[in-house]
């Protein structure tokens, strides 16, 4: 239901029909969700008040996260450059060996695997490299 004259959560709760709660478990889950919602709303209110009273903390936090983003971006660029160098070395070595040259890697040398490194530039700068499998749990 969409109401044009509803602007707050309380107004929406006043005009919305009560939830269909068929069992005691449904009621308990509903009450728990309502408590979590109230806690989240109070947390947002307190944080807004904190930001209003302590703008220097907000500025410090913004500077901190800007530095972290810059450091992370630099680290990712250095890692990509290192992967490109390692892949180029492994590829050049494979070309030498394929042309009949002598290998300077041993058979068990892990640098052989560097030929399979991905060096694409289509990575997201905001990606921290961690796999976010927690969404599937």
90: closest CA among 126, 70, 118?
A: 118
115: closest CA among 134, 94, 99, 133?
A: 94
- Does 98 reside within a domain? yes
Contact 117/86 with Cβ under 8 angstroms?
Answer: yes
- Does 1 reside within a domain? no
- Does 95 reside within a domain? yes
Query: Mean pLDDT, to the nearest integer, of 15-34?
Result: 85
pTM over 0.75: no
- Does 93 reside within a domain? yes
Residue 74 to residues 7, 67, 80, 131: CA-CA distances in angstroms?
A: 45, 11, 10, 20
Domain range enclosing 73 = 26-126
- Does 13 reside within a domain? no
- Does 99 reside within a domain? yes
- Does 90 reside within a domain? yes
pLDDT in tens, 25-40: 888 998 999 999 999 9
Q: Quick one: pLDDT at residue 130?
A: 53
pLDDT in tens, 82-101: 989 888 888 888 888 888 88
Share of the chain above pLDDT 90, in %: 39
Instruction: Count how many domains the chain has.
Output: 1
- Does 80 reside within a domain? yes
């Amino acid at each position: 239901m969409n109401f044009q004259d509803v602007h707050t959560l309380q107004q929406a709760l006043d005009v919305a029909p009560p939830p269909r709660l068929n069992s005691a478990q449904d009621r308990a889950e509903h009450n728990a969700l309502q408590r979590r919602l109230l806690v989240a709303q109070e947390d947002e209110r307190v944080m807004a008040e904190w930001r209003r009273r302590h703008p220097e903390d907000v500025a410090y936090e913004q500077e901190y996260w800007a530095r972290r983003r810059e450091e992370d971006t630099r680290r990712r660029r250095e890692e990509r450059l290192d992967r490109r160098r390692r892949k180029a070395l492994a590829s050049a070595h494979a070309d030498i060996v394929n042309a009949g040259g002598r290998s300077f890697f041993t058979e068990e040398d892990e640098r052989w695997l560097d030929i399979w490194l991905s060096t694409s530039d289509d990575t997201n700068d905001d990606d921290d490299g961690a796999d976010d499998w927690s969404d599937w749990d």
